[in-house]
Structure 1
Amino acid sequence: MSVSRQKKVYLPTATRKNQYISVGFPLTDAFLASYTDLENCYYEFSKLVYQVAEKHDLFNVHVIATDKLPMVRFHSEAYCLSTEEQLRFFYNPAHHEANRLHSISGYRAKKLKIVFLATGTELRSNSATFHANVQKFMAEIKPLLPIANIQMKVRDHQHISYDFFAKNKGIKETYGYKLRAVDNRYKRRECNLPEDVSTLNYVTVSIPVGRRIKKQLLSENTTNFGPSYQNVADKFIAATKERQLLRVAMVANGKVPLVRNSKFERLNSTAEFQMVGFDPNTEAPAPILHWEDDKLVEALRFVIVAGKNDSNDEGFGRFMNQVEDAVRSFTNEFDIDKEHIDVILRFHQHLSYKA
């Protein structure tokens, strides 16, 4: 493969793009004391948020006062699903706009969080402008809040997702993506970031455990799936290691893997989330494996994290091509109905900082 081609990854034209930015800060006694009661605080704060957001072309804005983690996915219809720990937003950035307060009567949130969902058709091209608009929003709203000098935590999430077996389903056309690092891309677009920005880039792969895969996993034992999971993990680790992808995880306990930079964040798993911590500067950490021997899950989930050497000005094309080669080798070990089963690859780019 030529050097110029290595800088790009060629993905199906049906690839989906998402971006959302969350801004959060603690709900203190001092902040709450400026309002008549908890419900009034949520209402007045959200009303102010929507007014300021519209001035800066932010048209899909949600105020979260439930301490639930936002998860964003593409969908042709707009709706939000709530679990004990998650708010799952489904929407089409090209068509859907919304302003909504998410709260529970009588529940005092530990943090107030604002989630901005990107809108439009060219999300990656306009990602720096979107982030800059959120920065302008923060600069305008801070003096209007009842407490001075509130420090906010900003998290910018971007991801592209596609079915790895799109060609088997007749989607032959591809498009070349040059996946540049977010912080460098923003600087080129005059979107200024603080010095101490934390970044993390990784791929998640989800393989549904359908009837054909289930028969392979069950083999002779229907009560202890540990050996089957270990076999899958061994094949995954071998395929990734051969491509010099050394920061990997497998989660098969029914939880959603939540990837964090372990250098900066405390990692506590919950009933719904399996925390997976990586320090991108560590050269070859041990694979992270989570499963329960007596539990057959609906999906096998895998994580491949980009290292420091993968994150350069030439983009992540080489990294993603290595990932695709590894996933192709790994999935060929199993009898997967490629014409009907979706194996979703999602390339995540995250950055966070305090403002």
Structure 2
Amino acid sequence: MTSAVADDTMDQDVFGGVDSHADTIHVAVISDNGGHLADAEFATTTAGYAASLAFLNAHGHVRAIGVEGTASYGAGFTRAARTAGLDVVEVNRPDRAERRRIGKSDPIDAYAAARAALSGRASSAPKDDTVAGIRALHNAARSAVKARTAALNQITHILVTAPESIRAKFGQLKSVDRTDALARLRPAGDAVHTAVLTALKSLARRVKELTAEHQALTRALDGEVTANNPGLRAAYGVGPDTAAQLLVTAGGNLERLRTEASFAALCGAAPVPASSGRTNRHRLSRGGDRAANAALYRIALVRMSSDPRTRDYVARQTAAGRTKKEIIRLLKRAIAREMFRCLTTAVTIPGIADLRPLRQSKNITLTAAARHFGVWPATISTLERGIRRDDDLANTYRDWLTAA
């Protein structure tokens, strides 16, 4: 009799739910009709993950596991479950109204994750590890910028209240000149002057170190994103930081991105109806991944300032009576469509490695080339180095160099 019950248990379909934390995960199991079967807590270790999977499998055939925080505290369990061949879906945190209604605890959240997997409300595959290196470099580079900005702000605040002799000497200097001058200080004078100058020197050196650190991280990040997706990196207005953010948002397993419309919604760039009465309009979306939305915004600003096609588009829309906000919304939606293609399809990048050697072999300077095409020398330089992609200019430039 006991054996028959055990066989029936193993034959039933079950769904799992995981509420993840730094040191523990709470795992819940429900039947295919939503009934609660069991829940337990496990450590976030290799042994703990193995025990949690054994716990799930002991209650039947695991159809799917809903995990809250697949890219953070639940990353270890997600990796172990997918290695074991189990289907893992990403579960969003319950909204506030639901939490107020049913309460908050680890078992409650784990069962809620399991119900989300059962109902199909949670259906997104978690991101895989192929962009983990890009994510790590991107986070480190961003933290370096934040720390550098904080140090620069501290320098400014100290100079506001510093003794007059210090303010007069360093207060009028700007940016790099001020940092360089403060980093070379030899603190001297009375106790107050010495303390203030020592603090300023320490902060200035910190700024210089963080600047060098950020530049090194950006170079490493540029190499990673170019190797991962050269078409995305070569798109107009897409720098290393922007490309990294879009890759992190999309994840390495691009089958998660079903349509370009869903990607636009993920980036908060899908138009949201804002009509009422006789007013019929759309507004900017305030949802989605705000970091990805900021990446699209940076691309839009670059193209509005230097891309001829975008400038012409902005002029037409302005003449049609659209506001700047509306134009940026339209641009971000179009850019999201282009970025989706770059992320999901292989884009062939025309070679530019021959441009600089060809120019140098003809003894043509950057200034002369730029003057011929009516652009800045920096435009030709970035084109030759592959920093900025412009296929039309590259082809015209190559033809001109060949004929010169």
- TM-score, L = length of structure 1: 0.23
Structure having the larger proportion of residues in strand: 1
Structure having the larger proportion of residues in helix: 2
